[in-house]
Chains A and B, each alone.
Chain A
Amino acid sequence: AQTVTQSQPEMSVQEAETVTLSCTYDTSENNYYLFWYKQPPSRQMILVIRQEAYKQQNATENRFSVNFQKAAKSFSLKISDSQLGDTAMYFCAFNNFGNEKLTFGTGTRLTIIP
Chain B
Amino acid sequence: DAGVTQSPTHLIKTRGQQVTLRCSPKSGHDTVSWYQQALGQGPQFIFQYYEEEERQRGNFPDRFSGHQFPNYSSELNVNALLLGDSALYLCASSLVWQGDGYTFGSGTRLTVV
The contact size tier of chain A is 20 to 34
For the A-B complex, the count of residue pairs with Cβ-Cβ distances under 8 Å equals 62
- Give the residue name and chain of the B residue nearest to A93 (CB): B42
Quick check: is A99 within 8 A (CB to CB) of the other chain? yes
Chain B interface residue count, CB cutoff 8 Å, equals 28
Report whether B45 and A103 are in contact in the complex, using a CB–CB cutoff of 8 Å.
yes
With both chains docked as a complex, state the minimum distance between the C-beta of B82 and any C-beta of chain A, in angstroms: 22
Residue of A nearest to B43 (CB): A104
B103 to chain A, nearest CB (A): 8
The answer on a CB contact under 8 Å between A44 and B55 is: no
| Chain B interfacial positions (CB closer than 8 Å to A) | 31, 33, 35, 40-45, 48, 55-56, 58, 88, 90, 92, 94, 97, 99-107, 109
Q: A100-B56, A106-B42 are in contact. List 6 more A-B contacts (CB 8 A).
A: A33-B99, A33-B100, A35-B101, A44-B107, A101-B48, A102-B33
